[in-house]
Every structure is written in C-alpha cells, then in structure tokens.
C-alpha cells in the first residue's frame, strides 16, 4: 500500500511532471468559473469553514480566499503545497494548508463545506478516503465529489484501442502499467453505499458542470452529499 501511494506522490511532488504537463490547461482554464460553480451548488456562505480536498497548488483555495471565504487546503504533495503557500503570500491572502494523505486526515478543525474537485483517484482506497473526509465534517455539512465518468473512460478506450491504458472490468479500475497506477471508477451505487456508511446522504447528482443530468454520455460524475445532523 505504502509503495502504491509513493508512486503517485512522486509524480505530484516532481515539478517537471504534473505542473509541467498541465501548463497549457492551467493557462487557459479559469478557476474563477469553477469557484462560481462551487459556491452555487454547495450554497457556500461567508461564515462557512471550507475544505479544499486535494487542493494541489491551491487554484480554488486561492480564488475563494481572494473573495473573503475561510478556506483550508489539504494535499499530500509538499511541493504543490509549497507553491500554494507562496501564491497566498504573493497575493496577500489568508488560507491554511496541510500536507496529509486523504485516506487518513487529521486536521485541527471540522468543516461546514468541502469539495474534491478535478480529482485524481489513482491508487486511492476510496472507501477509506470517504470515511476520513466524513470524519472532518460538521453535522449538516455539505460535500461535493467531482470525478471522471466511468462511461466516458470506457467509451474513450473503445474508440482508442491502441491506448496504453487498460481497464479491469471486474475491479472497475483503469490500469496504467508504466506508472504502476490503478484508478478506481466506481459506479453510482458504490458511491451511494460508501457515502451512506459514513453518514453522508446524497442530495444531488450531475453529469457535468452545467448541471446536466448524469447519463451514459456524461463526461463527469458529480455528487453532492450532506452529512447527517447529529
């Protein structure tokens, strides 16, 4: 397990990999729009304590803090967290950052709102991660899970038979043998089961950021859940 985690951590810790590979994406993709979306669907208020789950270099954390929200980011990549802290210093904004693994969070406060946006589930045990996230939430808190759609990836692989990635139909995992990664693609029912077991009730589901319904052509699976009141 430790070895599986260190493989993906190494990728995100290396500035020549994740940040360099996504340079074009970050230069055109506007976090302001994402944050408008998050505020709208989560119905975030200024008094809420917000958690950015796997915040990376803090694209959304920074934008929320700039707008005056109270926000913390957590990620296991120390180089991305260093980058996020530097951006906060340069922009003279207040945000808290923590270096922790999502599967075993031990943050000093509990949160009213949380989002796992533009997620990468590579080598993550989602059952443990959901338990760990739920433990960080206040009763009544809302949390959003944004993930790639199982149907999108299967259709992509069917249309690209030469892809280096394989899909394990029993485990529902995308396998990248070159990097030693397995990326879970759970069904909606699997999500529902994990969430229910951790006092999280699904309140809405969408297939994209335009709030279209989730169907077999959806590019995303976006789930909004509510932590049951005590």
Ligand X SMILES: C[S@@+](CC[C@H](N)C(=O)[O-])C[C@H]1O[C@@H](n2cnc3c(N)ncnc32)[C@H](O)[C@@H]1O
Binding site for ligand X (CB under 6 A): 8, 12, 54-56, 59, 75-77, 80, 101-103, 117-118, 120, 124
Nearer to ligand X, 124 or 222 (CB): 124
CB of 77: closest distance to ligand X in angstroms?
4
Instruction: Tell me which residue has its CB nearest to ligand X.
Output: 56
CB of 164: closest distance to ligand X in angstroms?
19
**Where do the DSSP E strands lie in the chain?**
49-53, 70-75, 96-99, 111-116, 137-148, 166-168, 173-176, 181-184, 200-206, 220-227
CB of 67: closest distance to ligand X in angstroms?
17
Cβ proximity of 61 and 98 under 8 Å? no
CB of 177: closest distance to ligand X in angstroms?
19
Q: At what angle do helices 59-66 and 78-91 cross, to 10 degrees?
A: 20
Nearer to ligand X, 54 or 70 (CB): 54
Nearer to ligand X, 117 or 167 (CB): 117
Nearer to ligand X, 77 or 149 (CB): 77
- Which tokens is 164 given? 């280096």
Number of H helices, E strands in the chain: 9, 10
């Amino acid at each position: 397990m430790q070895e599986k985690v260190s493989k993906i951590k190494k990728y995100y810790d290396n500035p020549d990999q994740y940040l360099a590979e996504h340079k074009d994406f970050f230069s055109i993709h506007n976090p302001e729009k994402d944050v408008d979306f998050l505020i709208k669907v989560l119905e975030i208020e200024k008094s809420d304590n917000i958690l950015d789950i796997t915040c990376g270099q803090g694209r959304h954390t920074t934008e929320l803090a700039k707008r005056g929200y109270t926000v913390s980011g957590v990620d296991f990549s120390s180089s991305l967290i260093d980058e996020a802290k530097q951006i906060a210093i340069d922009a003279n904004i207040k945000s808290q950052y923590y270096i922790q693994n999502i599967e075993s969070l031990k943050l000093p406060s509990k949160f009213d709102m949380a989002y796992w946006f533009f997620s990468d589930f590579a080598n993550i045990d989602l059952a443990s991660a959901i338990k760990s996230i739920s433990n960080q939430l206040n009763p009544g808190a809302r949390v959003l899970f944004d993930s790639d759609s199982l149907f999108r990836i299967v259709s992509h692989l069917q249309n690209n038979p030469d892809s280096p990635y394989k899909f394990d139909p029993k485990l529902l995992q995308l396998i990248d043998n070159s990097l030693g990664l397995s990326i879970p693609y759970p069904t909606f029912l699997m999500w529902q089961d994990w969430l229910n077991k951790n006092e999280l009730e699904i309140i809405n589901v969408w297939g994209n950021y335009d709030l279209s319904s989730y169907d077999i052509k959806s590019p995303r699976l976006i789930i909004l859940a509510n932590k049951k009141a005590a």
